């Protein structure tokens, strides 16, 4: 029995020199036969294989069986197993193939294929690691970029996955497939992105719940907009705020904190030093991508929006809704202007406001951007915030956007075509849907606190660039 095992092991080694499994089989057989006898037999078999087995091995090379082919090429076997949906088996074969040295491009394919297996098995973090290795080995290969993006999407980072596809477009010749993949992600952002969606397990839901038991009688909420921290010495105003007086409080910043990501990060950091919770929604200046600044790294304004979520996570700020104290809900909303806001001339104008913004072709052009931003709010406006509250005191909803939600709200009507670039009436439908008590907005730099609509919703603007500042809208249990 052991002589036969040794013979088979020797034949395997002859057909595939250096194969570790065959060498181990030979070692086991030699040990079972006794070292001396086993070694003598092994040498005898080596000689016979060299002389008489050459024709057999050559014939095998000319017409290999499927089993021999699998043993010789674990990658090929992995490919076949993958096609049969045996992803665990394919993963094992690719791992075996990776144990052998190969060219960089070949190894990139192996890591890419194993990443695909792990993605199919829902093992997203190992899939991401393999994709990143493939990308490092072959940075101009489009499939490596796709593996990384696929794993990021699986981890819930849909906006980050979009950014990966966009960056790959600048590196690879096979741009069409990357472009299609990037475009296909945009509708999924409001549904599955961990920063945007309120599905269980997302970061947005985790942040939503974290302060739900904080006492409302110890909480104040302040509103401000248009800080423009990179203009007119406004950074000094922010740094002049007390670092002690707002430790239990919340601030809502309704957009336009700065023209660059660096300015945005500085602004949010300074507010977070002072406030328990900091909420932010992007304005038009925040979404500019100026190629003469460090923001040139962002492929477009959606990619910059993705980076904003990561900056908020880094500094501890929020762009999603949350119960900031018992029965007190803050709901930031994405917004962009719709030219039909101009009721006197509801048609596209001749001027292009915010030309520094760059939008994906998949959104349908700059005139259609507002529709996508409305969709981004889908998860947060589907929540009945007040209905689920069972604590003391009446629940209240404090929403905010950068752009104006109603035409009655003031702006500089004498500025050419500004009415086409200042607001979005469809946004107010969402504000009413969540039964907002106070809606904070910005953009026009005209400060106001007024009531509009059948539900008598309050609309508040307190723009720093309009002479305003921190406006208190909730004070220890009550709206003010």
pLDDT in tens, 410-449: 999 989 999 999 999 999 999 999 999 999 999 999 999 9
- Given a contact cutoff of 8 angstroms between Cβ atoms, the answer to whether 128 and 157 are in contact is no
**CA geometry: angle at 328 spanning 324 and 331, to 5°?**
75
- Residues 6 or more apart whose CB falls under 8 angstroms from that of 314 comprise 265
- pLDDT of 451 over the 90 cut: yes
Confidence band, pLDDT 50/70/90 cuts, at residue 14: low
pLDDT value of residue 391? 87
- Given a contact cutoff of 8 angstroms between Cβ atoms, the answer to whether 424 and 370 are in contact is yes
Domain ranges of the chain: 2-70, 73-192, 203-479
- pLDDT of 305 over the 80 cut: yes
DSSP percent split of the chain into helix, strand, coil, nearest 5: 50, 10, 40
- pLDDT of 68 over the 50 cut: no
pLDDT value of residue 56? 41
Q: What is the mean pLDDT of residues 91-99?
A: 93
- pLDDT of 223 over the 50 cut: yes
Give strand pairing partners of 294. Answer: none
**Percentage of the residues of the chain whose pLDDT score is greater than 90:** 79
Confidence band, pLDDT 50/70/90 cuts, at residue 12: low
CA 105, CA 468: separation in Å to the nearest integer? 59
- Given a contact cutoff of 8 angstroms between Cβ atoms, the answer to whether 389 and 212 are in contact is no
CA 282, CA 253: separation in Å to the nearest integer? 9
CA 383, CA 264: separation in Å to the nearest integer? 29
Q: Enter the pTM of the model.
A: 0.82
* 220-224 and 471-475 beta bridge pairing: antiparallel
Q: How many CB atoms lie within 10 A of CB 120?
A: 15
Our measurement of the distance from residue 52's CA atom to the centroid of its chain's CA atoms, rounded to an integer in Å, reads 62
pLDDT value of residue 5? 73
Average pLDDT of every residue of the chain: 89
Tokens 């929540």 belong to 383
- Given a contact cutoff of 8 angstroms between Cβ atoms, the answer to whether 308 and 264 are in contact is yes
Superfamily covering domain 73-192: Tetratricopeptide repeat domain (1.25.40.10)
Confidence band, pLDDT 50/70/90 cuts, at residue 60: very low
- pLDDT of 480 over the 70 cut: yes
Question: Alpha helices, DSSP H only, in 121-259?
Answer: 124-137, 142-154, 158-169, 175-185, 189-192, 203-209, 234-239
- pLDDT of 99 over the 90 cut: no
What is the edge-to-edge ordering of all strands in the sheet holding 448-452? Answer: 322-325, 328-332, 396-400, 438-440, 457-461, 448-452
Q: What is the mean pLDDT of residues 356-376?
A: 97
**Percentage of the residues of the chain whose pLDDT score is greater than 70:** 85
Range name among 49-58, 203-212, 322-331 with the lowest pLDDT average:
49-58
Q: Phi and psi at residue 86, in whole multiples of 5°?
A: -90, 80
- Given a contact cutoff of 8 angstroms between Cβ atoms, the answer to whether 324 and 250 are in contact is yes
Q: What is the mean pLDDT of residues 300-319?
A: 98
pLDDT value of residue 373? 98
CA 150, CA 181: separation in Å to the nearest integer? 9
Q: What is the mean pLDDT of residues 377-396?
A: 93
Confidence band, pLDDT 50/70/90 cuts, at residue 44: low
Q: What is the mean pLDDT of residues 269-282?
A: 98
Range name among 63-77, 181-195, 331-345 with the lowest pLDDT average:
63-77
Q: Which two tokens stand for residue 224?
A: 């401000």
- Given a contact cutoff of 8 angstroms between Cβ atoms, the answer to whether 271 and 278 are in contact is yes
Give the number of C-alpha atoms closer than 13 A to the C-alpha of residue 448, restricted to the C-beta side.
17
CA 206, CA 199: separation in Å to the nearest integer? 10
**CATH 3.40.50.300 for domain 203-479:** no
Tokens 């049969």 belong to 84
**CA geometry: angle at 324 spanning 272 and 424, to 5°?**
85
- Three-class DSSP labels, 375-426: HHCHHHHCCCCCCCCCCCCCCEEEEECCCECCCCCCCCCCCCCHHHHCECHH
Confidence band, pLDDT 50/70/90 cuts, at residue 346: very high
Q: What is the mean pLDDT of residues 467-472?
A: 97
Confidence band, pLDDT 50/70/90 cuts, at residue 106: confident
What end-to-end distance do the CA atoms of the chain give, in Å?
91
Confidence band, pLDDT 50/70/90 cuts, at residue 46: low
Confidence band, pLDDT 50/70/90 cuts, at residue 386: very high
Confidence band, pLDDT 50/70/90 cuts, at residue 388: confident
- Given a contact cutoff of 8 angstroms between Cβ atoms, the answer to whether 319 and 214 are in contact is no
CA 423, CA 374: separation in Å to the nearest integer? 12
pLDDT value of residue 80? 95
Q: Which two tokens stand for residue 384?
A: 């009945």
pLDDT value of residue 15? 61
Long-range Cβ pairs for the range 385-390 (8 Å, 24+): 385/321, 385/323, 385/329, 385/331, 385/434, 385/435, 386/329, 386/435, 389/326, 389/327
- Among candidates 223, 252, 264, 259, which has minimal Cα distance to 331? 252
Running DSSP on this structure, what letter comes out for residue 340? Answer: G
């Amino acid at each position: 029995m052991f002589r036969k095992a040794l013979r088979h092991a020797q034949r395997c080694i002859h057909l595939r020199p250096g194969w570790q499994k065959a060498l181990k089989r030979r070692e086991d057989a030699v040990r079972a036969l006794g070292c001396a006898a086993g070694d003598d037999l092994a040498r005898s078999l080596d000689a016979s294989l060299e002389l008489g087995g050459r024709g057999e091995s050559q014939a095998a090379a000319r017409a290999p069986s499927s089993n021999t082919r699998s043993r010789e090429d674990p990658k090929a076997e992995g490919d076949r197993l993958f096609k049969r949906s045996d992803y665990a088996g394919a993963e094992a074969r690719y791992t075996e193939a990776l144990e052998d040295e190969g060219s960089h491009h070949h190894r990139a394919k192996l890591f890419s294929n194993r990443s695909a297996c792990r993605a199919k098995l829902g093992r997203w973090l190992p899939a991401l690691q393999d994709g990143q290795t493939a990308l490092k080995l072959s940075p101009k290969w489009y499939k490596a970029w796709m593996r990384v993006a696929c794993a990021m999407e699986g981890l819930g980072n849909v906006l980050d996955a979009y950014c990966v596809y966009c960056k790959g477009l600048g590196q690879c010749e096979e741009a069409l497939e990357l472009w299609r993949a990037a475009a296909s992600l945009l509708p999924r952002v409001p549904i599955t992105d961990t920063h945007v969606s309120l599905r269980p397990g997302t970061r947005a839901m985790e942040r939503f719940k974290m302060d739900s038991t904080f006492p409302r009688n110890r909480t104040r909420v302040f509103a401000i907009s248009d800080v423009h921290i990179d203009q007119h010495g406004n950074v000094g105003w922010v740094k002049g705020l007390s670092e002690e007086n707002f430790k239990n409080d919340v601030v809502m910043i309704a957009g336009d904190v700065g023209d660059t990501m660096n300015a945005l990060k500085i602004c949010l950091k300074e507010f977070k030093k002072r406030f328990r919770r900091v909420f932010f929604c992007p304005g038009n200046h925040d979404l500019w991508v100026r190629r003469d600044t460090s923001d040139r790294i962002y492929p477009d304004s959606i990619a910059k929006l993705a980076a904003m979520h990561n900056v908020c996570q880094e500094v501890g700020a929020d762009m999603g809704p949350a119960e900031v104290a018992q029965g007190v809900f803050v709901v930031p909303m994405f917004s962009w202007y719709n030219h039909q806001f101009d009721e006197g001339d509801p048609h596209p104008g001749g001027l292009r406001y915010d030309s520094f913004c760059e939008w994906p072709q998949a959104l349908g052009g700059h005139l259609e951007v507002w529709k996508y931003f409305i969709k981004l709010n889908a998860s947060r406006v589907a929540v009945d915030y007040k209905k689920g509250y069972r604590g003391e005191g009446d629940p209240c909803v404090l929403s905010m956007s950068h752009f104006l939600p109603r035409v009655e709200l003031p702006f500089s009507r004498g500025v050419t075509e500004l009415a086409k670039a200042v607001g979005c009436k469809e946004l107010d439908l969402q504000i009413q849907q969540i039964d907002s008590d106070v809606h904070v907005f910005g953009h026009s730099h005209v400060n106001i606190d007024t009531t509009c609509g059948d539900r008598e919703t309050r609309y508040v603007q307190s723009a720093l660039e309009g002479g305003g500042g921190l406006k208190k809208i909730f004070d220890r249990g009550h709206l003010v």
